Structure 1
Amino acid sequence: MTHHRFGSAGERVLQQRHGTTERAAEFYDRQVHPYLTPTMRAFIDRMTMVFLSTADSGGACDASFRAGPPGFVQVLSDRTLAYPEYRGNGVMASAGNMTENPHLGMLFLDFTRDHIGLHVNGTAALCSDADLRHHHPELRVDPAPGRRPELWIHVTVDEAYIHCSKHIPHLEPAARPREQESVRPRDQQYFTDARVPRQPLPVDYTPATPVRQAEVARQHR
């Protein structure tokens, strides 16, 4: 049995406490791989979205989302993949976390056909477009038509495993209804009440804990 290389110490403590050690061991042995199987690679190649989880060096977490044409996350080998980062709001929360803590969690979900998911956990590195193309000339030239990546996230796979289908909803692909976007607030204002100006923090204000500091920093950046 090889499951001891997978999972955290915290997982194993809770498995013992709740009597799921044998069930978890079977899952590790049957479902968790330190590489991408051919079926996993084909699955990623047709995905149009992925959910990301990152954390900074202090453990403050961030969840994000990326989307693009099928195969915008490009499988480079059975142990490596990469996805492009484009010009956005300039915050670079996910990439910034990776410079402090390279551990990255990715969740691919198929909402339309097989209703199954794939977890890929790995170690991330930031690469320029030129550098990644130098080492991988087979990289797609235009993963998102009309857009050029500002950088790439190169991921070395640590583990890959299934996300069960039980609660994955069925969604039908459809064009975005542009008329709804014309009547809703613009993105920059959607979650902000423009009538209530944001109050600056007092100069001498110090949050009580590092966690609170991270929350305040995120709210005022």
Structure 2
Amino acid sequence: MNDRPAGRPGSAGERLLQSHLGTADRAATFYDRQVQPRLTDQMRDFVGRQTMVFLSTADAGGNCDTGFRAGPPGFVTVLDEYTLTYPEYRGNGVHAGNGNVLENPHMGMLFVDFTHHHIGLHVNGAAQLVGDAEQRRVYPHLPLDSAHGRQPSVWVHLRVHEAYVQCSKYIPHLEPAPRPRGLGADRPKDSDYFVPPAAAHAESRSHPPAPTLPMGY
């Protein structure tokens, strides 16, 4: 459900909290100057330089998922002042974020420059999934090899509703560095990093622990 007043940025919840905390005037100034209904030239240039983006989606019930995508500068392509697109490649097969898009097209994107200007850009809009062949037929100039020979399984196509700055106050400074080759000796594989190794997991499922007896037995 969209609770945004017609023609005004910000949700009803935002405005209620602004009134309660006494920030309505400051928020109005931010809305008037910073919240844009399209990508300005400066925003388009900024997106074209970025190598990563954070994503937020929710399903029809409001259950959220966050995601992260990275690639060479410009892997998120600005098609025009109202449209962004980026490729999706084979991953773990879950499709959590894109599955949400099929139920609820609202998507939030956050681009952050950690190394030079220490500034961020929020882009919110409505997303849809487009097949690679169809996308390239309409936009033949899209990059062909943004993932070293991997073929996109689908493209995420975002129609921009609003875009605005993320201030630099709490953005840390990060220095780019070459990624080490291979895993450290004490570093688990990705699939085992936060859960038991697959064999141990299967064994624990096959042999559940005995229930704890009540005190006194």
Pick the TM interval, shorter chain: 0.7 to 0.9
Alignment of 1:80 onto 2:83: yes
Corresponding position of 1:209: none
The aligned runs of 1:8-87 (5 Å cut-off) are 8-87=11-90
Q: CA deviation at 1:119?
A: 0.1
**2:108 maps to amino acid:** G
| Identity fraction in percent | 61
1:42 and 1:5 map into 2 onto residues whose CA distance is 26
Unmatched runs of 5 consecutive residues or more in structure 2 = 1-5, 207-217
**1:127 maps to amino acid:** V
**1:142 maps to amino acid:** D
Q: CA deviation at 1:111?
A: 0.4
**1:63 maps to amino acid:** T
Corresponding position of 1:218: none
Q: CA deviation at 1:135?
A: 1.3
Q: CA deviation at 1:145?
A: 2.3
Q: CA deviation at 1:182?
A: 4.9
Query: What SS does the aligned partner of 1:30 have?
Result: helix
**1:89 maps to amino acid:** N
Contact 1:52 1:65 in 2 (8 A): yes
Corresponding position of 1:156: 159
Corresponding position of 2:213: none
Farther-moved stretch of structure 1 (34-43 vs 179-188): 179-188
Contact 1:116 1:163 in 2 (8 A): yes
1:32 and 1:129 map into 2 onto residues whose CA distance is 32
Contact 1:47 1:108 in 2 (8 A): yes
2:76 and 2:205 map into 1 onto residues whose CA distance is 40
Q: CA deviation at 1:176?
A: 1.2
**1:191 maps to amino acid:** F
TM-score of the pair, normalised by structure 1: 0.86
Q: CA deviation at 1:134?
A: 1.3
Deviations for 1:183-202, whole angstroms, at most 9, x for unmatched residues? 411111110123455659xx
Q: CA deviation at 1:139?
A: 1.4
Contact 1:72 1:144 in 2 (8 A): no
Larger radius of gyration: 2
RMSD: 1.6
Q: 1:91 to 1:181 in 2, by over 3 A?
A: farther
1:52 and 1:159 map into 2 onto residues whose CA distance is 15
Alignment of 1:171 onto 2:165: no
Corresponding position of 2:132: 129
1:103 and 1:164 map into 2 onto residues whose CA distance is 23
Aligned length: 198
Unmatched runs of 5 consecutive residues or more in structure 1 = 201-221
Farther-moved stretch of structure 1 (110-119 vs 129-138): 129-138
1:180 and 1:81 map into 2 onto residues whose CA distance is 34
TM-score of the pair, normalised by structure 2: 0.87
**2:21 maps to amino acid:** H
Deviations for 1:132-190, whole angstroms, at most 9, x for unmatched residues? 11111221222222111000000000000000000100000001122544541111111
